[in-house]
Amino acid sequence: MMAIDTDKAVEIAKGIYWVGFYDKKAGFHCNPYLLIDKTGEAVLFDPGAITYYERLKEKLQSVIDPKKISHIVLHHQDPDLCSSVPQFEKIIGGHVKIAAAWRAGVLIAYYGVASEFYYVDAHDYRLALKSGRILKFIPTPYLHEPGSIVTYDKESGILFSSDLFGGFSFNWSLYADEKYPEAVKAFHEPYMPSNYILRSAMEEIEKNDIKLIAPQHGSIIDKDVFYYINLLKNLECGKMQKAGPDKKSTGDYKLITEALVKRIIGILNINDTKNVLEGTGIVADLKDGSIIEFPADGKRALERLGVNLNKTGGIFAMIATRLLTQRLAIENNLELPDIFQIS
C-alpha cells in the first residue's frame, strides 16, 4: 500500500474526505470528515477543536469552497468535536445549519454557535440532501453523552461513528491495523458507561449494511467491520461493568500481565513498549504480547511494569489499562499493586 500523506486531505471513499490532524504528541486524534455530494452540496462532520482550526481549515479549503457546506453534523457536544464551529461559521456563511440531537444542541449553543439548528430528533432522524441522498442518524444515548448520535450514509455504506469505535493510541495510523482492537478497548473501557448500553447501540448499528466505519478518534475501520461491532457488543466497560464472576477463581499475575502487555502493544509504539518492560524481568513477544519469561514474584513484576507504564505513557496510558487490570484481578482473586489502584 502506498504511504498516506496525512498532512493533506485524504479521500476515504468517493467524495468523502478525512480532513483531520495527526498530533504526534497525543494519544487522541480528532477525525473530522467532509462529504461532497454529486450536486456539489457538502456536509462537514465533527469539525474538531479550536486548537486545530487553522490546520483543518487548510485541508478543507484544499478540497472545496467552504460556502458549499450546507450542514455541520455534530454527534455530541464535546469541545473536541464542536469548539471550532464558530470559526467555521465565519468562512462557510450564515446559510449553514447545525445537525444535532436536541439534548446536545442546547449545550452546543454555549460555544457561541450562531447558525440555525436542524434537530435530527424532530426530523425522524434523517437529513435529505438536494440530490435525494439520505443521511440516517442513529441515537446512541449515553455513549458517552445523553444526546449522542451516529450517522449512516447508505449510499457509501459509511458509518460516521463519533466516539464509538474510536481508539486510544500513541502509535496511530489512519486505517486500523492488527493492533487496533486493543486501542478500541483501551478507549471504550473507561469512557463508556456499561456493556448493557453499548450492546443496545451495537444491535441497532448492525442492522445497517456498513462497509466502513469512520470514528472521530482513532483509526478508520475499512475491513472486518462486524468483528469490531461484536467486540463492542461483548466488551465490559465503565463504572457499571460487572465486578467479576459469581465464583472467584484462583489465578496468577502472569495472566494479568500478559493481558496488560497486549494492551500496551496496542496503544504504545515499539520503543515505548520496550521501555515499559525494561527492568521488570518480564520477557514478551512484542508482536502478540505472549509472555516468554516471567519472574517468580509476579506481583512485584507487575508493579514495576505499572511504574514504567506511568512514567512512559502518563495518565492516559494508566486510564487505558486500569479497568482491564482491575477486572482481571477481581476475576482471579488477586491483589493489585498500588499503582493500578487509581479510582
The cell numbers describing 271, all together, are 520503543
Q: Which residue has the cell 509472555?
A: 291
Q: What is the pLDDT of residue 2?
A: 67
Torsion of CA 136, 98, 193, 338, to 10 degrees: 130
The confidence score (pLDDT) of residue 279 equals: 95
Task: Report the interhelical angle of 180-191 vs 253-267 (nearest 10°).
Answer: 100
pLDDT band (50, 70, 90) for residue 238: confident
Write the pLDDT tens digit of every residue in 242-291. Answer: 544 443 433 589 999 999 999 999 999 999 999 999 999 999 999 999 99
Alpha-carbon span 244 to 32, nearest angstrom: 38
Task: List, in sequence order, the alpha helices (H) in 253-297.
Answer: 253-267, 270-277
Ramachandran angles phi, psi of 162, nearest 5°: 55, -135
How many C-alpha atoms does 117 have within 13 Å on its Cβ side? 18
Q: What are the pLDDT digits (tens) for 196-224?
A: 999 999 999 999 999 999 999 999 999 99
Q: Is the pLDDT of residue 45 over 60?
A: yes
Amino acid 253: pLDDT: 92
Q: How many angstroms separate the Cα of 110 from the Cα of each of 32, 82, 113, 114, 162?
A: 21, 10, 7, 10, 20
Please tell me the distance from the alpha carbon of residue 197 to that of residue 210, in angstroms, as a whole number.
Answer: 21
Neighbours of 197 (CB within 10 A): 18
Instruction: Tell me the mean pLDDT in the region 67-85.
Output: 97
* Residue 87 buriedness (CB in 10 A; 0-12 / 13-18 / 19+): middle
Is residue 59 exposed (0-12), middle (13-18) or buried (19+ Cβ within 10 Å)?
A: buried
Q: For all residues of the chain together, what is the average pLDDT?
A: 92
> What pLDDT score was predicted for residue 86?
98
Indicate if the pLDDT at residue 239 is higher than 70: no
Band (pLDDT 50/70/90 cuts) for residue 62 is very high
Phi, then psi, of 171 in degrees rounded to 5: -120, 60
Closest CA to 70 of 46, 48, 37: 37
Residue 174 reports pLDDT greater than 80? yes
Q: How far is CA 98 from the centre of its chain?
A: 22
Largest CA distance in the chain: 67
Q: How far is CA 117 from the centre of its chain?
A: 25
Amino acid 245: pLDDT: 43
Q: CB-based contacts of 296: which residues, under 8 Å, 6+ apart?
A: none
- Rounded to an integer, the average pLDDT of 2-31 is 88
Question: 2 or 3: whose pLDDT is higher?
Answer: 3
Taking the model in full, what pTM does it have? 0.88
Nearest-Å Rg of the Cα atoms of the chain is: 21
Specify the range with the lowest mean pLDDT, choosing from 19-28, 30-39, 78-87, 96-105: 19-28
- Where on the phi/psi map is residue 165: left (φ > 0), alpha (ψ -120 to 50), or beta? left
Instruction: Name the pLDDT band for 343 (thresholds 50, 70, 90).
Output: low
